[in-house]
Structure 1
Amino acid sequence: MDLFNQLILVISVTSFLSFQWLFHRVSPWVSTRVSPGFLRLADKQKVEWNSRTVSTLHALVVGLFCLYILLFDDAINEDPVWGDPTLVKINVGVTTGYLISDLLLIFYYWKAIGDKFFVVHHLAALYAYYYVLGQGMLPYFANFRLLAEFSTPCVNQRWFFEVLGYPKSSRPNIANGMAMAVVFFLVRIAVMPLYYSRMWSVYDTDAFYRVPPGGRAAWIISSICLDVMNVMWMHKIARGCYKVMRSARRHKVGTQENGKTD
């Protein structure tokens, strides 16, 4: 193993340990001081609260680094299959540590945060990232997938509002719900044509055939699996957003007809 790959291994292990520490120590300590409602939660809710807090932090760190790479890393933009993967490997190393950490927590606290779809999601991502970290292939596509992390903070905030008892028709909830639907659509659904058109542009090229069959399977199958789940989640989010907007509109109409507020 060369020096750089040793560094990536250290980054992944450090990431794993850091996210475990954030889950078990930092999140409970900060949450009790920032949100008094945290102390009133049931034990299972506290587990999910800490999990989502860590998830939000990971999404912000990795998402911003991903955007920087996408905008300024000319090497992977010019050669999406075999371009210099240095920065992408660092970002994927951080995400790999997080995914393994989150899988461990999911299995250990299955009754609180167990979700088969998240297990499939994490395993599919780890399978694909194995080829990125091990052989440096497909850096553009691996990095592009991380754009999806920008939707995570709004998704988590929705749960925080719900567990703290915010009415669905409250302004913070509605604003976050709208932001969640828009951001989720932009970074997970609207980008699909761009992603798959770029994939098609390298199909049947020398660069494509240099990728071993296992790497191609990881690239194509994991992409399809993740996007099927993204469409399913988008459908749920859109339905939830529509119901909240209808509820808020009815509340507003009722208030105007009564001539008073509650």
Structure 2
Amino acid sequence: MVINSYRSQAELLRKEYIFADLSAVCSSVIIGIFACKMVYDLCRLISAVCFKGYTNLSKSKQIEWNNRAMSTVHALFISTASMYFTFWSDLYSDNLLRGPITLRSSSFSTFTLGVSVGYFLSDLAMIIWFYPSLGTMEYVIHHLLSVVGVSYAMLTGEAQLYTFMVLTSEATTPGINLRWYLDAAGMKKSRVYIINGVVIFLAWLVARILLFVYLFYHEYIFYDQVKQMHTSGILLVLLVPSVIGVMNLIWFWKIFKGLKKTLAKTQ
């Protein structure tokens, strides 16, 4: 009876988000796309004036320079919001009187996810348009999974906690982008570049390895609540973090080898 009641609640939430609140959802996605365009254009204007080396870059490098500014701003926004919802907000507390945590959402959490969907759509479009200069197939797969997973949580209100846990891993993006900027600026042998590499390694270990271990542990502990979602939601909750987790391990191994190589050159 209780499970059926929660499933009925999930169905009502799905209808509410898809039909009654469709305009608000679409607005948040549009805001995300517009914000990406604004950051991209501002970066292009500011960089041309403030960074002498920018104009000497090739056209493709300038595009990537501006694109990475866009991803950095999104990463700062979504990782901060995700850490708030995951660790500090009472929206996903253990209070059982509020129902399963897998079915909880708010207008603010849904808006936040909509902005992130807008970013992933914008960045995915750029990756495909300029393929493969902005990223290879693994980036396309990563963004497609992100769009599907985040959109589902946004539209249905299901599994938003686990979506925010995954999005917290975006905290590593600013460091990755800074490393690219330092390389483009000819500072690959600087101390800042080395320190940045160490920070990336540690941040990746925490945000994309240990946090994912915690996510899977959390899903195991609360699997009775996970089962109360729709079948498509259960599949996404189990599949998307697993695929992204494997990709994180592959990238982590590459980061480790790169850091080891860089540190060896300094000795």
Equivalent of residue 44 in structure 2, options 28, 46, 54:
28
TM-score, length-normalised on structure 1?
0.88
What displacement does 1:219 show?
Answer: 1.3
Counterpart in the other structure of 1:18: 35
What are the equivalent positions in structure 2 for 1:1-262 lying under 5 Å apart? 4-23=21-40, 25-78=41-94, 79-168=100-189, 170-203=190-223, 205=224, 207-249=225-267
> 1:71-109 deviations in whole A, cap 9, x for unaligned?
332122334311234332122111100000001111111
> 1:24-65 deviations in whole A, cap 9, x for unaligned?
x21111112332111110111111111111111110111111
> 1:185-225 deviations in whole A, cap 9, x for unaligned?
1100111221111000122x2x3232121111111111111
User: For residues 241 and 129 of structure 1, what CA distance do their matches in structure 2 show?
Assistant: 32
User: For residues 34 and 91 of structure 1, what CA distance do their matches in structure 2 show?
Assistant: 32
User: For residues 167 and 201 of structure 1, what CA distance do their matches in structure 2 show?
Assistant: 45
Would the aligned equivalents of 1:181 and 1:238 in 2 still touch at CA under 8 Å? yes
RMSD: 1.5
Show structure 2 runs of 5+ residues with no match: 1-17, 95-99
Would the aligned equivalents of 1:88 and 1:143 in 2 still touch at CA under 8 Å? no
TM-score, length-normalised on structure 2?
0.87
Would the aligned equivalents of 2:113 and 2:151 in 1 still touch at CA under 8 Å? no
User: For residues 184 and 42 of structure 2, what CA distance do their matches in structure 1 show?
Assistant: 20
User: For residues 128 and 136 of structure 2, what CA distance do their matches in structure 1 show?
Assistant: 9
> 1:110-154 deviations in whole A, cap 9, x for unaligned?
142142111100111111123211210011101111110110000
Q: Secondary structure at the match of 1:112?
A: coil
User: For residues 233 and 87 of structure 1, what CA distance do their matches in structure 2 show?
Assistant: 32
Show structure 1 runs of 5+ residues with no match: 250-262
User: For residues 179 and 26 of structure 1, what CA distance do their matches in structure 2 show?
Assistant: 27
